[in-house]
Amino acid sequence: MISLQNDYSEGAHPRILALLTQTNLEQSAGYGEDAYCLQAASHIQQHLNAPQAAIHFVSGGTQSNTVIIKSVLRPHEAVIAAQSGHIAVHETGAIEATGHKVITMPVANSGKLTPEAVMTAVKTHTDEHMVKPRMVYISQTTEIGSVYSVAELRALRACCDDLGLYLHIDGARLGAALAANSELSLAIMAEVADVFYIGGTKNGALLGEAIVIVNPDLQADFRYGMKQHGALLAKGRILGLQFVGLFAEQVFFECAHHAHEQAMALADGLRDLGCGFLTAPQSNQIFPILPNAVISALQQKFTFYHWQDIHDSDSAVRLVTSWATEPANIKEFLRVTAELLRK
């Protein structure tokens, strides 16, 4: 079976694994106070144009979102997210478990939260009988693979400034976004966000996300929140070291571009076969629409998610590429699909 199911099916990029192996017997300080964590932070820093930013490493995305939101909000404050937002749907109530409501707003097909939706959320929360919106959460790329443009990000930033809101960007797939739109950069993220994280797990690392706290008001005592949430690893250096690999050696960008190219090749090939898409392919998650019979046949050889029924005979599926996707597998997928569609 060939997996196009997600971008975390394999282990780490070989250069990352090599780094772990080379340094394995070095003795270092625990809990993220080692030299590699410092070095990784410094490499990331060079991309940010935000010398005041604080950088911390944790092991996963849910942990990132939870520690950040819990650290920033007071008990009665809430975070605004798209109805399809990861924190709203797929984190088993992690944010609510820290006491905070996630205010969900409907989004159009784009999967993107708009300034208008944010404004509506704020306007409809008028007094102390309701929670107080205080933070906006978006995912870049979104849960359906769409990418906020620089203009869209700046518009959200302006909206947050107007309304006194913080902006947090979930970058579990930030690499994919950067690969998809060359106007985007880590510096743009640091410009628009109060806090964001750079996903390593889905882009070349075994595990690990780098949290970037741009706004100095949100930096105090962050390590306390990490420790309290079980997010300070004893061997913290294994996170720092992976980010050294990702950013000192550019593995992060290489991985993301590889995944992007494979996804675009897949999308182009499917388009040539006459496929439509649920949403325009933009990044490493694409959503082609195929006849159900073709889908069933494909599932004999490939694993991927059935996403949504379109009508009786067709469905949209989700295909995901990663740093490890082999071009031969993309070709094979297209070949088999072409054959099935011909029948």
Q: Which stretch binds a second copy (CB under 8 A): 85-93, 114-122, 182-190, 332-340?
A: 85-93
25's tokens: 């017997």
Indicate which single residue of 37, 324, 330, 337 sits in contact with a second copy (rule: CB under 8 A).
324
Q: Write the DSSP string, 170-229.
A: E-TTHHHHHHH-TT--HHHHHHH-SEEEEE-TTTT-SS-EEEEE-SGGG-TTHHHHHHHT
Regarding 255 and contact with a second copy (CB under 8 A), the answer is no
Largest separation between any pair of C-alpha atoms in the chain:
63
| Residue span 281-310 as binding mask against a second copy, x where in contact by CB under 8 A, dash where not | ------------------------------
Q: Which stretch binds a second copy (CB under 8 A): 2-10, 145-153, 286-294, 306-314?
A: 2-10
Indicate which single residue of 2, 265, 297, 336 sits in contact with a second copy (rule: CB under 8 A).
2
Q: Which stretch binds a second copy (CB under 8 A): 15-23, 113-121, 188-196, 281-289?
A: 15-23
Q: Write the DSSP string, 241-263.
A: HHHHHHHHS-HHHHHHHHHHHHH
Q: Is the peptide bond before 66 cis (omega within 30 degrees of 0)?
A: no
| Distance from the Cα of residue 190 to its chain's centroid | 15
Q: Which stretch binds a second copy (CB under 8 A): 4-12, 37-45, 159-167, 265-273?
A: 4-12
Distances from the Cα of 282 to the Cα of 103, 245, 304, 330, angstroms: 27, 27, 18, 17
| Distance from the Cα of residue 26 to its chain's centroid | 32
Regarding 20 and contact with a second copy (CB under 8 A), the answer is yes
Which of 267, 164, 211 is CA-nearest to residue 66? 211
Name residue 139's beta-bridge partners: 170
Sheet holding 102-105, edge to edge: 54-58, 209-213, 195-199, 166-170, 132-139, 77-82, 102-105
Minimum distance of a second copy from residue 241's CB (angstroms): 9
Indicate which single residue of 46, 49, 52, 76 sits in contact with a second copy (rule: CB under 8 A).
76
| Residue span 193-232 as binding mask against a second copy, x where in contact by CB under 8 A, dash where not | --------xx---xx-------------x-xxxxxxxxxx
Minimum distance of a second copy from residue 20's CB (angstroms): 6
Minimum distance of a second copy from residue 69's CB (angstroms): 11
Residue 65 in 3-state DSSP?
A: helix
Cβ-based neighbour number of residue 215 at 10 Å: 16
Q: How far apart are alpha carbons 278 and 286 in whole angstroms?
A: 8
- When the beta carbons of 156 and 200 are compared against a second copy, the nearer one is 200
Minimum distance of a second copy from residue 233's CB (angstroms): 6
Interacting residues with a second copy between 22 and 41 (CB under 8 A): 23-31
Regarding 100 and contact with a second copy (CB under 8 A), the answer is yes
Indicate which single residue of 98, 120, 185, 279 sits in contact with a second copy (rule: CB under 8 A).
98
30's tokens: 């625990």
| Residue span 105-144 as binding mask against a second copy, x where in contact by CB under 8 A, dash where not | -----------------------xxxxx------------
Indicate which single residue of 46, 52, 99, 216 sits in contact with a second copy (rule: CB under 8 A).
99
Regarding 242 and contact with a second copy (CB under 8 A), the answer is no
Indicate which single residue of 35, 89, 248, 265 sits in contact with a second copy (rule: CB under 8 A).
89
Regarding 327 and contact with a second copy (CB under 8 A), the answer is no
